[in-house]
Structure 1
Amino acid sequence: MSYFCEVCHMSFSIKYSLQRHMMTHSGENRYSCEICGQSFTRKNALNKHLNSHKHLPEAQHSAISKKSTLAKRIKLPTQERRYSCQICGSSFSRNSHVVEHLRTHTGEKPYSCEVCGASFSKKSSVSIHMRNHTGDRPYSCELCGSTFTQRSSRVEHMRIHSGEKPFCCELCDASYTKKFSLLVHMRTHTGEKPFSCEICCRSFAIKSNMLNHMKIHKEKTWCHTGEKSYSCEICNSSFSVNSSLKKHHRTHTGEKPYSCKICENSFFDNSALEKHIRVHTGEKPFVCKTCGSAFSQSSNLKIHAKKHSGEKPHCCQICASSFSSIQNLKVHNRVHTGEKPYECGLCRRCFSEKLSLTKHVRTHTGQRPYMCRECGSCFSQSSNLKVHLQTHIGDKPHSCQICQATFASFSTLKIHSRTHTGVKPYSCEACGTT
């Protein structure tokens, strides 16, 4: 059953979601943040939002508070917003703003870039876009020196340093650095999928997923015709799209033109960079509808979903072990072949998994990227952080079957068990004492 908004005709699968949505039209936001002025319909949503300000210094609190107070003074009351959109009911203080807003419904983009022909619905958007051609980046981060073409991009970037996630979901505990990320997340609750494939009518919650899906149709068309007119001059591999050839060519040249402004890692293509940035922002837009677990990549969510269904379609032909993903099967096969393709550049030690190499390299660099927010302790592996967190909450899930003693980690339980078994696996090379 679907529930429809009478104002903008948006549909929802849950009645409660419709009730929350209706407040966006009525303007009913009873709880306001005293620091930044953002308002919420529920008190617990405000409390979640307030936690995002805890990471900011007091001076920054004061600056945000002054800015929000000024914004409140300038903002016109609802009754003075005399111009309204006849499609969705949004109200504005000027008729010109209504004209601009209407273009979001009609799709009209009357302003175009003279350099590349890109079109925009606002004239100001053209000026901002031109900075991509001129290289002008007038807004810079005072902490890391990153520069931006828009003020709003700098504001979003600063949240990476502060840890602030002001956009909170009112239906679950998820919070985000960007309003757009929250919008995408809300579709996991409402079931809304506004982007449809023109060929097969399949719908998607995220536009980029729809565009990637469209490529499948194009590839199928090229497969039927057999046309692959773009060839690599180095290895003679052929491709049906020129962009695929360009990406492939970087595997020979080692060129990685897309770099992260936070940690300076670089990537072959933009999509890989976008996935990487989520490591810094903590953004996990892909949510499991069964258990609520969130993931940074849709592929990880698909693999996770198979745990609920019990589906393990990928089988080892040697020992009959089965796996939920083909990647896990490939890693497993190396147990039989002895293949270790990942080599440490510092000590030449080899590993069967890339993740194992990444963890090993930290023993050389001393890097500990996983930090406990309770006490500030840092760890080289996320699993070690999880074990450590149990010391704060007092959770000791691992118990000894002989004396019932409990422990926070399984490794500690194993060490304890030796007091009962008498096992002494470590011996001195000089005298043989165990």
Structure 2
Amino acid sequence: MMNVHIRPFSCEVCGGAFPRSAELKRHMVTHTGDKLYSCEVCGKASSNKAHAKVHMRTHIGEKSNFCEVCAKAFHTNSELKRHVRTHTGEKPYSCEVCGKAFSNNSHAKVHMRTHTGEKLFSCEVCGKASSSNADAKVHMRTHTGEKPYSCKLCSKAFSNRSDAKVHLRTHTGEKPYSCEMCGKAFSTNSELKNHRRIHTGEKPFSCEVCGSAFSSNSNFKKHIRTHTGEKPYACEICGTSCSTSSNLKSHMRTHTGEKPYSCEICGSSFSQPSNLKVHMRIHKVI
């Protein structure tokens, strides 16, 4: 005898059919957006009973999904699956435009906006648009001054986790980015990109005023100040302004008396490399 599945309860919105009225009610939430299940602890509402149960675990600390590699525990199986990829290196989500792969679907979606130019998150203070919520949060710290990431070795604080990681390399000496042409290593990917242009001769940054071209954006910005006269680096002691951070460091030695440039012949010390060069003429080296 053939089994006939009777589904007498139909959705008026999409036509879906269900055997019981309770299932139809749960389904209707996907159309109405109603959130029927409220957390007794914090009041957070969920449209799905299963989601409400998962949320409750954040309060009671229940983590029943364990990683077999490192034993770390997670509230949900989906969280565990994402974590396991940190061990396996699996990246199942690929960008259809450039092929870049990601271990997390949300990261792939955010990356896609670099191609579409879509920026969904706007700053409430200045209106600047960001392509991800994370970028928007980091930007907001330029207004609040918040710096939640501190260096464990020198306590210097940063608004961005990635900046804190790069800074730590000044202590460890780690240089994970190597030039495939000459083998020279760098602490940041941007430094490596700038270095590669030494080999390629590429100078993508052009001055609209005089036409001078530069291989790095930082050198380009310094050059622009020769036209604008901008001096954004100010001495905290006397107020003297400088156009570059290196010029400010040189200026600070007039206050500190530091003389880091020494003559290898007689040991005389100087605050500026140019003064050392002049001195070397005494020894007839230059």
Q: TM-score, normalised by structure 2?
A: 0.57
Contact 1:196 1:203 in 2 (8 A): no
Partner of 1:220: 115
State the Cα distance separating 1:341 from its structure 2 match.
1.0
Aligned length: 204
Equivalent residues in 2 for 1:30-429 (5 A)? Answer: 115=61, 120-122=66-68, 125-126=71-72, 198-200=94-96, 202=99, 215-221=110-116, 223=118, 228=120, 230-358=121-249, 360-361=251-252, 364=255, 384=261, 391=264, 412-417=276-281
**Residue 419 to residue 280, structure 1, CA distance change in 2 (3 Å):** closer
State the Cα distance separating 1:345 from its structure 2 match.
1.6
Which stretches in structure 1 are left out of the alignment for 5+ residues?
1-111, 130-192, 369-378, 393-408, 421-434
State the Cα distance separating 1:279 from its structure 2 match.
0.4
For the residues of structure 2 that align with 1:412 and 1:253, how far apart are their CA atoms?
44
Partner of 1:25: none
For the residues of structure 1 that align with 2:246 and 2:66, how far apart are their CA atoms?
43
State the Cα distance separating 1:119 from its structure 2 match.
6.0
Cα-to-partner distance string for 1:8-48 (whole Å, 9 max, x where unaligned): xxxxxxxxxxxxxxxxxxxxxxxxxxxxxxxxxxxxxxxxx
**Residue 417 to residue 120, structure 1, CA distance change in 2 (3 Å):** same
Q: TM-score, normalised by structure 1?
A: 0.39
Rg larger for:
2
Partner of 2:85: none
Specify the code of the residue in structure 2 equivalent to 1:323.
F
State the Cα distance separating 1:313 from its structure 2 match.
2.2
State the Cα distance separating 1:286 from its structure 2 match.
0.6
State the Cα distance separating 1:333 from its structure 2 match.
1.1
Higher RCO (CA-CA < 8 Å; seq separation 6+): 1
SS at 2:94's partner residue? Answer: coil
Specify the code of the residue in structure 2 equivalent to 1:268.
S
Specify the code of the residue in structure 1 equivalent to 2:67.
S
**Residue 260 to residue 419, structure 1, CA distance change in 2 (3 Å):** closer
For the residues of structure 2 that align with 1:275 and 1:116, how far apart are their CA atoms?
35
**Residue 115 to residue 299, structure 1, CA distance change in 2 (3 Å):** farther
Aligned identity (percent) is 38
State the Cα distance separating 1:353 from its structure 2 match.
1.5
State the Cα distance separating 1:261 from its structure 2 match.
1.2
For the residues of structure 1 that align with 2:194 and 2:63, how far apart are their CA atoms?
41
| Higher deviation after alignment, 246-255 or 317-326 | 317-326
Specify the code of the residue in structure 1 equivalent to 2:196.
A
For the residues of structure 2 that align with 1:266 and 1:343, how far apart are their CA atoms?
20
Specify the code of the residue in structure 1 equivalent to 2:94.
E
